[in-house]
Amino acid sequence: MSKIRMINVTKTYLPDKDKYKKYIDEIFANGWVTNNGPLVRRLERRLADYLGVKNIILVANGTAALEIAYRTLDIKGYAVTTPFSFVATTSSLVTNGIKPIFADINPNTLNIDPKNIKNAITKSTSVIVPVHVFGNGCEVEEIEQIAKDNKLKVIYDAAHAFDVQYKGQSILNYGDISALSFHATKLFHTIEGGALIITDDSLVEKARYLINFGIQNKESIPELGTNAKMNEFEAAMGLCVLDEIENIKTMRKEVYEIYNKELYGIVELQQKNENSTLNHSYFQIILKNEEQTFKIQKALIDEHIFPRRYFFPSLDSLSYIEPKQFMSNSRDISRRILSLPLYPELTKSEQIHIISVIKDNI
């Protein structure tokens, strides 16, 4: 019996196995498996160079990167953030005792709208937490100005923004801290993993204690910390994936461009920031209404193709949000958006099939 091939929304990129084994041999030879090992340090140096950033700290995952960012900057009180993101953007705030106040998105770019940020700021606001949604650069200069005018910190959830440039330099250099995710589904990954990009050099040492229980040295524990360390096996995966990143980017770009060419004018697409580059990590279609979204989703699932309602639900609707809030653009978009399969190994014929199912059901 022939096995039906399922097409999921994403598929983890696995690099050359022999190369990974060489790193594993290295780990076994020196016996150093975690606690700021040589491969973690090597990956930090290579990523800083590749991304064009000054200070990078590798951590266990993107959620931990956000949480360490809040603690590094001593964030208390209220955060102005976007309701249209993955749940970790909001849940990481709530876990750290910070109350999210949402500023609705621009329904075209899907990013937080700077004019709504201004309206959401109060005396108790201490930070703005925007997200470069699907790698689409936020209006970083406008956000920087708002933060300056109101004496606020800016922490970018840059989980999707690996290798995105804004006006010729890394978008990760904007704001006080950017938090990246290197989860297995991401463009660049370390199985589980993440990173903090820190603008102010004087905060780097504190962030390093915080990921290691607050320990500065054997006799000094100056901060309340946690355990958010990346291990050597994860760093080895990152080193292997980084060697192949140009190829991964080219393959993703090819898939992205076919979707863009074939679906442009047929469905709504995210409007991209003209000042920032694309990393071709995701491709979303926005349908007319929820009914049409369910119809397309079902038609694809019937063909063993699994798009994802990403992001859904809108984060202002989460049960644990207090005070209750209602962000109409985010709620509307989250009900009629679908993420299409996008990964390097997706074949052209699979992609043509996906596109024809969508076109036949519009």
Tokens in use for 260? Answer: 């863009």
183 contributes a contact to ligand PLP by CB under 6 A: yes
> For the chain, percent helix, then strand, then coil, each to nearest 5?
40, 15, 45
CB neighbours of 165 closer than 8 A, spacing ≥ 6?
Answer: 171, 276, 277
Interaction of residue 63 with ligand PLP, rule CB under 6 A: yes
The nearer residue to ligand PLP, 159 or 239, going by C-beta atoms, is 159
Tokens for 10?
């994403």
- Establish whether the linkage from the previous residue to 313 is cis, with ω within 30° of 0: yes
Residue whose beta carbon is closest to ligand PLP: 62
**Site for ligand PLP contains 282 (CB under 6 A):** no
Q: Is 281 in the site for ligand PLP (CB under 6 A)?
A: no
Minimum gap (Å) between residue 143 Cβ and ligand PLP: 16
Please provide the DSSP assignment of 250-267 as one string: HHHHHHHHHHHHHHBTTB
Binding of residue 157 to ligand PLP (CB under 6 A): yes
> Helices then strands (H, E): number in the chain?
12, 13
Q: Considering the rule CB under 6 A, would residue 334 count as an interface residue with ligand PLP?
A: no
| Contact flag: residue 62 with ligand PLP (CB under 6 A) | yes
Stretch that binds ligand PLP, among 59-67, 226-234, 237-245, 269-277 (CB under 6 A): 59-67
Which of positions 76-105 make contact with ligand PLP (CB under 6 A)? Answer: 85-86, 88-89
Contact set for ligand PLP, span 101-140 (CB under 6 A): 131
Q: Which listed range, 11-19, 70-78, 110-118, 155-163, lies at the site for ligand PLP (CB under 6 A)?
A: 155-163
| Cβ atoms 52, 164 nearer than 8 A | no
| Residue 59: CB minimum distance to ligand PLP, A | 9
- The distance of closest approach from Cβ of residue 184 to ligand PLP in the complex, given in angstroms and rounded to an integer, is 9
Nearer to ligand PLP, 133 or 358 (CB): 133
**CA pair distance 341, 344, nearest whole angstrom:** 10
Q: Which is nearer to ligand PLP, 160 or 335 (CB)?
A: 160
- Of positions 37, 130, 175, 194, contacts ligand PLP by CB under 6 A: 194
Nearest to 342 by CA among 275, 269, 255: 255
Among 252, 185, 239, 273, smallest CA distance to 49 is for 239
Asked if the peptide bond before residue 283 counts as cis, ω within 30 degrees of 0, the response is no
Q: How far apart are CA 297 and CA 313, in angstroms?
A: 16
* CA 34 to the chain's CA centroid: 24
Question: According to CB under 6 A, which one of 90, 136, 181, 314 is a site residue for ligand PLP?
Answer: 181
340 is a contact residue toward ligand PLP (CB under 6 A): no
In this structure, are residues 129 and 79 in contact, taking their beta carbons and an 8 Å threshold?
yes
Rg (CA), the chain: 21
Determine the Cα–Cα distance for residues 91 and 302; give it in Å rounded to an integer.
34
CB of 183 to ligand PLP, least distance (A): 4
| CB-nearer residue toward ligand PLP: 181 or 330 | 181
Q: Between residues 56 and 358, which has the closer beta carbon with respect to ligand PLP?
A: 56
User: What is the contact surface with ligand PLP in residues (CB under 6 A)?
Assistant: 61-63, 85-86, 88-89, 131, 157, 159-160, 181, 183, 194
